[in-house]
Structure 1
Amino acid sequence: MDFTYSQAIIIGFIQGITELFPISSLGHAILIPAWIGGSFRDFISDENEAYLLITIAMHLASSVALFLVFRKRWVRLISGSYRAITSRNYQSTPFRVLGYIVIATIPVGFLGLAFGDYFQSIFGKPQYSALFLVLNGLLLITAERLSRRDVAQELQDSDSEIDRRVSVKTAVAIGFGQSLALFAGISRFGVTMSAGLLRKLNHSVASDFAFLLSLPVIVGASIVKLPELFTTKANELLGQIFVGSIISFIATYISVTFLVRWFKTKTLYPFAVYCLVFGVLSFLRFT
């Protein structure tokens, strides 16, 4: 089946907007083509090589956009951790924060490698994605209702706040929480932030930590399948892959910038309502 530029633009836009919004990019990658129908739905459901290639490229584009938004933080964390190791100052804030990121990434990385393709083969259908999207909305609401009520608190020193409020136990809990995103319809960012809220982090720290955790997960998932981009088929689709990746990069950059500001003063409730409405409508449509 031919892969058109219009399909590349649509998929790139969906990927970029939904990757960091707490509404599940994978769930939308299944549901929106199913709603559109026709050849677009068949293109996605065929699980063909073209769709795999564009998905890998778009995730890489999203990771570049995410890094650019937080580039100063990552440079500070990595350089600070290097200095901590060379000076054996293992209590330094950058080293501890980077350690929490690594700890929280290990569970989802292991489970993703072990069961990711298996879960997608079983649950990667519109009706299941719709159901999990509803569950995602309920999770966001539950986390908000049980969370601390200092939403408007803005971080003065983000890394120090994470170091002060996050513990190894919290990082492990958030790491296993991320693994729920292996089910299409469960948002990785949403469940990560929800896990943080349920561990009594405030909104500022929970969202900030969730943003930092996004990069290694997205990059790791892309690297695993990176060799697929160096094939004859990839060369044939170079133009479409490039266009889709550019759209994904722009959409991701805009959405992340928006969300960083949003969670300084606002909650997950609007996203929860969206997930419930779209999930219920999709479930009724595809069952």
Structure 2
Amino acid sequence: MSHLSWLESGVVGLLQGVAELFPVSSLGHSVLLPAVVGGAWQHDLDVRAPESPYLAYIVGLHVATAIALIIYFWRDWVRIVRGLVRSIARRRIDTADERLAWLLVLGTIPVGVVGLLAEHAFRTTLARPVPTAVFLVVNGFVLLGIEHFRGGQPADEEYVDERVSGAESDRRLAGLPTTQAVAIGAAQILALAPGLSRSGVTTAAGLSARLSREDAARFAFLLATPVILAAGVLKLGDLAGPLGDGIRPQVLFGSVLSGVGAYVSVRFLTRYFASRSMRPFGAYCVAAGAACLVWFAVR
């Protein structure tokens, strides 16, 4: 029988929901936290174990995270899905919503293909504490580096209605060249390595393509939603089978916390990234990753 305590499920669930959207790597933290705590946590929460219930659990939590993103961006997803359906029915692309829908489809294909083919290799090879801590440091330097080369950007603290701001941002994103949109989406492949953040590398790729902070973060969240949802749905079958025996109530508990954490995080981050940099997150990743490496060396 699998084992997952209520405390473990609650902490990991909340951590997953928050860290998935902050540019600090949720999978990296899910690997490092048990290794740092040690004891039963390290035994129970091992993503590298054969047929790991913990891996199924944390990936299954992605469903709750994706639902939170869909709820927050529901107006945008209604427009985008309608645009995609219209475009397919008419066999042409006429509007910004239709073009953005196809950019999101094309942008998620690379990570979807690589994830299906190489997820096991990434997990068994890289999901160990030391490589994960190294990748977390690398993630920090990526965030700091893109901010350094991007340079300062004037802050705009004036409040704008989210519905108006979102529609305007989507129109700007619809104007992205297809190759740039696919390249930004493909950056999510890097996040298959624990310690590299999906939202961090995707937002950094958007900034390198000269998107504004608001548009880069928004595109990163929109691109992440179908990928996160698909990854979680694929693991739900595992949790419904033997891997979920004895831990399904804890899975539900962790999922609720994950969804709440994700909703609060995306609400905060969409406003934060409109006018502020990723430097604090970059500094945190470098410091946390380095501290973990020191801890593993002296323990």
Normalising by the smaller structure, the TM-score range is over 0.9
Q: What residue number does 2:224 align with?
A: 214
Q: What residue number does 2:96 align with?
A: 93
Q: Secondary structure of the residue that 1:257 maps to in structure 2?
A: helix
Q: Does 1:275 align with 2:289?
A: no
Distance in 1, matches of 2:77 and 2:270, equals 16
Would the alpha carbon gap of residues 128 and 61 (structure 1) be closer, same or farther in structure 2, given more than 3 Å must change?
A: same
Distance in 2, matches of 1:263 and 1:138, equals 18
Structure 1's unaligned 5+ residue stretches are none
Conserved in 2, the CA contact under 8 Å of 1:136 and 1:185?
yes
Number of corresponding residues: 286
Alignment deviations for residues 72-130 of structure 1 (CA, whole Å, 9 cap, x no partner): 10001111232344345513111110111111111111111111110111111111111
Conserved in 2, the CA contact under 8 Å of 1:151 and 1:267?
no
Matches within 5 A, 1:76-91: 76-91=79-94
Distance in 1, matches of 2:155 and 2:220, equals 17
Distance in 2, matches of 1:122 and 1:84, equals 42
Structure 2's unaligned 5+ residue stretches are none
Aligned partner (choices 65, 70, 73) of residue 73 of structure 2: 70
Aligned partner (choices 113, 117, 122) of residue 114 of structure 1: 117
Would the alpha carbon gap of residues 177 and 120 (structure 1) be closer, same or farther in structure 2, given more than 3 Å must change?
A: same
Q: What residue number does 2:276 align with?
A: 266
Distance in 2, matches of 1:84 and 1:2, equals 48
Q: What do you get for the CA RMSD once the two structures are aligned?
A: 1.8
Q: Secondary structure of the residue that 2:223 maps to in structure 1?
A: helix
Conserved in 1, the CA contact under 8 Å of 2:185 and 2:223?
no
Conserved in 1, the CA contact under 8 Å of 2:136 and 2:286?
yes
Distance in 2, matches of 1:24 and 1:232, equals 28
Alignment deviations for residues 9-28 of structure 1 (CA, whole Å, 9 cap, x no partner): 01101111101000000100
Aligned partner (choices 187, 197, 211) of residue 187 of structure 1: 197
Conserved in 1, the CA contact under 8 Å of 2:25 and 2:196?
yes
Q: Does 1:205 align with 2:208?
A: no
Distance in 2, matches of 1:16 and 1:192, equals 18
| Percentage of pairs with the same residue | 36
Letter in 2 for 1:118: A
Greater shift after overlay, 83-92 or 121-130? Answer: 83-92
Aligned partner (choices 173, 177, 182) of residue 162 of structure 1: 173
Q: Secondary structure of the residue that 1:265 maps to in structure 2?
A: coil
Distance in 1, matches of 2:91 and 2:4, equals 53
Q: What residue number does 1:44 align with?
A: 45
Distance in 1, matches of 2:120 and 2:88, equals 37
Superposed displacement of residue 50, structure 1: 3.2
Conserved in 2, the CA contact under 8 Å of 1:141 and 1:269?
yes
Superposed displacement of residue 225, structure 1: 2.4
Would the alpha carbon gap of residues 151 and 106 (structure 1) be closer, same or farther in structure 2, given more than 3 Å must change?
A: farther
Superposed displacement of residue 56, structure 1: 3.5
Distance in 2, matches of 1:220 and 1:149, equals 36
Q: What residue number does 2:145 align with?
A: 142
Distance in 1, matches of 2:243 and 2:194, equals 26
Q: What residue number does 1:242 align with?
A: 252
Q: Which runs of 4+ in 1 moved over 6 A?
A: none
Conserved in 2, the CA contact under 8 Å of 1:149 and 1:202?
no
Alignment deviations for residues 238-269 of structure 1 (CA, whole Å, 9 cap, x no partner): 21111111111111111111111111111111
Letter in 1 for 2:127: G
Greater shift after overlay, 52-61 or 98-107? Answer: 52-61
